[in-house]
Amino acid sequence: MKKKSNTKKYVLGLDLGGTNVRAAIIDTSGKLKSYIHFPTESQNGPEYVIKNIALKSLELIGKSGLSKKQIWRAGIGSPGPMDSKKGIIMGAVNLPGWKRVFLKDTLEKFLGVGVGVDNDANCAAYGERWAGAAKGASNVVGITLGTGVGGGIIIDGRLVRGANYNAGEIGHTSLNPDGRLCKCGAKGCLEMYASASAIAESAREAIRGGASSIMTEAVRGDIKKITSKTVYEALLQNDKTAENVWNEFIKYLGAGIANQINGLNPEAVVVAGGVINAGDRLFTPLREAVRRQTFALTFSAVKIVPAQLGEFAGAIGAAGLVINEGDFYGL
Ligand SMILES: [Zn+2]
C-alpha cells in the first residue's frame, strides 16, 4: 500500500451530471478555490466526455495559477449504478450508452493523477458532512430532492457503501408497497411522493381529478407545465389544492426521513434541492412530521437542516472522499 502525503494542498472535485459537469479546485479543508461548469455532451459517448472533463479540468488548474503537480488527487461523483471500488459505471439512466464504462482508469490516464469515483448523491451527502451543513458530525443522512430523490449515509465518519457499493438509495425505500409505480420497478418509493417532480405530479393529479386551483391559471391551462415551484407559489397565496399537495409531500418526506432516523440514529439530516428555498414553510412542518414518527430520544439527537453547499456539493464531496477515504479507492 502506497501512502502519499497531501502536501500538494489541492484536489480536483468533479460532478458528472446528465446535462452538466461541475469541476472545482478544492483545498484540503474543503474550501472552493475555483470552479467551472460545462455541458456534458453525453451524446458524444463516454470516451469523448471523459477526455473533455480532463481537458477542461487541466484548463481550470492553469487558470487558477496552479501547476498540475499541486493537484494531489481527483474525485468524481457520477450517476450509478456503479462499482465504486473499481470506478466502473455499470449503466446510468441519465447517461445514454454508458455501459461498463471504466471511468476511474480512463480519467486517470487523461489527468495523470489518482481518481476516486463514487455515486453522485453519496458525494453530495459527504460534501455537506465534510464542509457544509453537517460539518463535523459523525452520523449524517443526506437527501436531495430533485427529479428523483438521492441519498447518502455517513456513519462513524465514513460513507456507508454496503456489500457491493450501492447503499444509500433512500429515494427507493418504500413507503407504500401498493403505491405509485417507480422507474426502478418497485412500488411506492419515497421518490414517487417526495421528489420535486412528484410534487408537480401530485398537483396535476389533483387538478385532473377536478380540484380547482390558481395553478391552472398560472400555467394558462397547460397543466403539464406545473412544477414544484408553481405549487410553492400557489401555496404562498393560500391555494387550497397547493396546500393539500404540499402537506401530502411533507407527510411522505417526513415518513421517509423518520425511517432513516429510526434505523440509523444520526445527529443530522441534510435536505438539499431547490425545494429547500421554501425555508420554514418546509422545515417547520417537516420536523413536526418526523417527530411524530420517531422515538423522542432519537429525535432529540437529530437536527434536520437545509444543505449549504448548493450546486457544488457533489464536487466538494467527491474531493473530500478522495482526501479522507482514499484507501477505499486504492489511492
Ligand atoms: Zn424506486
Contact between residue 302 and residue 266 where contact means Cβ atoms under 8 Å apart: yes
Q: The CATH number of 10-120+312-329 is which of 3.40.50.970, 2.60.120.10, 3.30.1490.190, 3.30.420.40? A: 3.30.420.40
- Residues lying with their CB under 5 A of ligand 1, a single-atom ion: 172, 182, 184, 186, 189
The domain locations on the chain are 10-120+312-329, 133-308
Span from the CA of 192 to the centroid of ligand 1 (angstroms): 7
User: How do the pLDDT tens digits run along the chain, 331 residues long?
Assistant: 455 555 568 999 999 998 999 999 999 999 999 999 999 999 999 999 999 999 999 999 999 999 999 999 999 999 989 999 999 999 877 788 899 999 999 999 999 999 999 999 999 999 999 999 999 999 999 999 999 999 999 999 999 999 999 999 999 999 999 999 998 899 999 999 999 999 999 999 999 999 999 999 999 999 999 999 999 999 999 999 999 999 999 999 999 999 999 999 999 999 999 999 999 999 999 999 999 999 999 999 999 999 999 999 999 999 999 999 999 999 9
Domains 10-120+312-329 and 133-308 share a fold: yes
pLDDT value of residue 7: 59
Domain 133-308 in this protein, CATH class: alpha beta
Place of cell 496552479: 66
CA of 186 to the centre of ligand 1 (A): 5
Which residue type sits at 286?
Answer: L
Residue 261 CB contacts under 8 Å (≥ 6 apart), including other chains: 141, 269, 290, 294, 298, 299, 302
Distance from the alpha carbon of residue 182 to the mean position of ligand 1, in angstroms: 5
Cβ atoms 53, 21 nearer than 8 A: yes
